[in-house]
Amino acid sequence: MTWRSHNQIGGAGRGGGVRTQTKASSSHGHIPPPPSKRAPRPPPPPLRCSAPPVAQVRRRLDRGSSVRALPPVSTIDATDFSILSEEHTPSVTSSFLEKKSKHETRNLNMSSTIGGSLSVEFGCLRKHEVRRLSTRQGSGRMLSIRASVVSSPDTLELSKANAKQAEKMVRVGVLGASGYTGAEIVRLLANHPHFGITLMTADRKAGQSIGSVFPHLITQDLPNMVAVKDADFSNVDAVFCCLPHGTTQEIIKGLPKGLKIVDLSADFRLRDINEYEEWYGLPHKAPELQKEAVYGLTEVLRGEIQNARLVANPGCYPTSIQLPLIPLIKAHLIELRNIIIDAKSGVSGAGRGAKEAHLYTEIAEGLHSYGITKHRHVPEIEQGLSDASNSKITVSFTPHLMPMSRGMQSTIYVEMAPGVNTDDLYEHLNNTYQAEEFVRLLEKGVVPHTRHVRGSNYCLMNVFQDRIPGRAIIISVIDNLVKGASGQALQNLNLMMGFPEDTGLQYQPLFP
């Protein structure tokens, strides 16, 4: 028997190889010795991330060269990986060898009471990531693995109770799947290890598949969309409600009480019913739910969101504005008066409905303001900032529609408190968000661009000194469909269901 090395990812010369056992053939039936003059092949370099982690793992498993027999190992290095479950195998212990950096390969040895031991090499398994993987050794065997970084070596033992709880698949319904935010939810859930879509509604597209409406989603095997009135919620644990303002209230009121709900409309964002009715021009039909709803600005209200049944997902403009301003207001670093916000959004922020103002010939090669002094996000912005200051705050807010499909930038002008400079603002924002995955302060002087967050759940921001003494300029950018809508909604449902909030959201921005 000889060992042969295979390059697994990216072709020859890229990435590392996995050794697989193969028989050497010869016409005389014996194993020929290696050539005496050939220099030994150097060991392959560590595997680097050149594709999404799960794609790397699946590719290795599909090619059948990542499983080989090894003796069991009982020690663990400083990187701790716990096996959540191994179907058809009643007892599992595991350990990792040769701890390397977070973006290199790790070798997992699993000894079980059935089928001996397995070794599977993984590329780029992220911290806190849970993946469900199939192997080629044994029929129908499934492994589920969670990764986490620990500070000291330890021993792994499988907890059956924890494994069962962690492996529970959350059945998700998407109400309004034929709109932009609904389609974005479906796209994001394709990479989620714990959430599976069991229900999709779209009244005008009832009976159609999601792939017939959005061809970019045709690769997913999902149920056909149905009308809301025909929806069966008996097979649903959680719901994303992506319906228009005004229609959501009665629908949510009629949902089973045990469901977790994230509402992407504005129906439950404003605590004051009178304020909602004034700004949206609609009577509120579920005031009892208004009292129950928790506002879902994840990085600010994480603790309340975790225990909520109903979360009101923030609007896109309020998300991009509140994330930089709330920490500064709480720290008394800026004045509460004369806050001016100049915000710009891609056309998808206006929804998918057919409107003359959103025709290509009306939008292209131009820029226009809308909702001047009366945009519906104004009371939501002022509510969040007032909560941070414990006093009433009003802002000057003017939104603009840009000739681009997605993206949002808020340019915010503030007066700094006496004795405060832009370095103080920068340092406080840096301290506030340095541990956050999805809110990033750029290096000083770097200007955030909307293309830097396209297709991702990130919010990028920075602070600049104004020419006017005592004033600062804050620039914040998000993707209005992700962090401004569906991505933050998924972030919130992760928290509500007890999963790490970045699960299924590790998408890097698209560029260019």
CATH number at residue 268: 3.40.50.720
- 54 and 116 both lie in a single domain: yes
> Looking up tokens 């929804």, which residue turns up?
351
Strands of the sheet with 117-123, listed across from one edge = 67-68, 117-123, 105-112, 92-97
What span, in angstroms and rounded, lies between the C-alpha atoms of 436 and 141? Answer: 36
What is the reported pLDDT for 365? 85
pLDDT in tens, 86-107: 333 333 333 333 333 333 333 4
Do the strands 339-345 and 471-478 form a parallel or antiparallel pair, or are they unpaired? unpaired
Check residues 93 and 358 and name the one with the higher pLDDT: 358
- Residue 104 included in any domain: yes
What span, in angstroms and rounded, lies between the C-alpha atoms of 263 and 489? Answer: 8
> What is the arithmetic mean of pLDDT over 342-365?
79
What span, in angstroms and rounded, lies between the C-alpha atoms of 154 and 111? Answer: 17
Q: Are 172 and 166 in contact (CB under 8 A)?
A: no
What is the reported pLDDT for 72? 36
What is the reported pLDDT for 157? 37
> What is the arithmetic mean of pLDDT over 30-58?
47
Beta strands in 27-104 (DSSP E): 67-68, 79-86, 92-97
What is the reported pLDDT for 38? 52
What is the reported pLDDT for 97? 30
The token duo for 271 is 């605590």
Cα Dmax for the chain = 91
- 154 and 63 both lie in a single domain: yes
What is the reported pLDDT for 360? 74
- 289 and 354 both lie in a single domain: no
- Residue 423 included in any domain: yes
> What is the arithmetic mean of pLDDT over 192-198?
97
Domain boundary among 115, 147, 166: 166
> What is the arithmetic mean of pLDDT over 293-299?
98
- 426 and 327 both lie in a single domain: yes
- Residue 329 included in any domain: yes
pLDDT in tens, 451-505: 999 999 999 999 999 999 999 999 999 999 999 999 999 999 999 999 999 999 9
Look at residue 7 and tell me whether its pLDDT is greater than 90.
Answer: no
Look at residue 71 and tell me whether its pLDDT is greater than 80.
Answer: no
What span, in angstroms and rounded, lies between the C-alpha atoms of 198 and 174? Answer: 9
CATH number at residue 414: 3.30.360.10
Check residues 112 and 354 and name the one with the higher pLDDT: 354
Check residues 448 and 81 and name the one with the higher pLDDT: 448
Q: Which residues of 133-168 are buried (b: 16+ CB within 10 A; e: fewer)?
A: bebeebeebebbbbbeeeeeeeebebeeeebeebbe
Q: SS3 string of 431-465? A: HHHCCCCCEEECCCCCCCCHHHCCCCCCEEEEEEE
Per-residue pLDDT band at 168 (split at 50, 70, 90) = confident
What span, in angstroms and rounded, lies between the C-alpha atoms of 365 and 408? Answer: 17
pLDDT in tens, 252-267: 999 999 999 999 999 9
What is the reported pLDDT for 352? 65
Per-residue pLDDT band at 212 (split at 50, 70, 90) = very high
Look at residue 225 and tell me whether its pLDDT is greater than 70.
Answer: yes
- 133 and 178 both lie in a single domain: no
- 339 and 455 both lie in a single domain: yes
- 265 and 193 both lie in a single domain: yes
Domain count of the chain? 3
Q: Is 49 one of the catalytic residues?
A: no
What is the reported pLDDT for 392? 97
> What is the arithmetic mean of pLDDT over 385-399?
98
Residue range of the domain that includes 83: 47-166
Q: Which residues contact 310 (CB under 8 A, 6 or more apart)?
A: 252, 261, 263, 268, 289, 292, 293, 294
- Residue 510 included in any domain: no
Rounded to 10 deg, the angle between the 180-189 and 487-496 helix axes is 50
Q: Is 508 exposed, middle or buried (0-12, 13-18, 19+ CB in 10 A)?
A: exposed
> What is the arithmetic mean of pLDDT over 408-427?
98
What span, in angstroms and rounded, lies between the C-alpha atoms of 99 and 80? Answer: 9
Q: Give the range among 351-355, 403-407, 469-473, 475-479 with minimum mean pLDDT.
A: 351-355
The token duo for 299 is 């990085």
Q: Are 389 and 329 in contact (CB under 8 A)?
A: yes
Per-residue pLDDT band at 427 (split at 50, 70, 90) = very high
Q: Are 333 and 428 in contact (CB under 8 A)?
A: yes
Check residues 312 and 103 and name the one with the higher pLDDT: 312
- Residue 270 included in any domain: yes
- Residue 506 included in any domain: no
- Residue 1 included in any domain: no
What is the reported pLDDT for 323? 99
What is the reported pLDDT for 41? 59
The token duo for 340 is 């001016």
Helix (H, G, I), strand (E, B) or coil at 319: helix
**Residue tagged active-site, from 241, 242, 316, 459:** 316
- 217 and 348 both lie in a single domain: no
- 105 and 81 both lie in a single domain: yes
- Residue 427 included in any domain: yes
What is the reported pLDDT for 376? 96
Bridge partners of 108? 96, 120
- 448 and 358 both lie in a single domain: yes
What is the reported pLDDT for 1? 44
- 300 and 357 both lie in a single domain: no
- 180 and 234 both lie in a single domain: yes
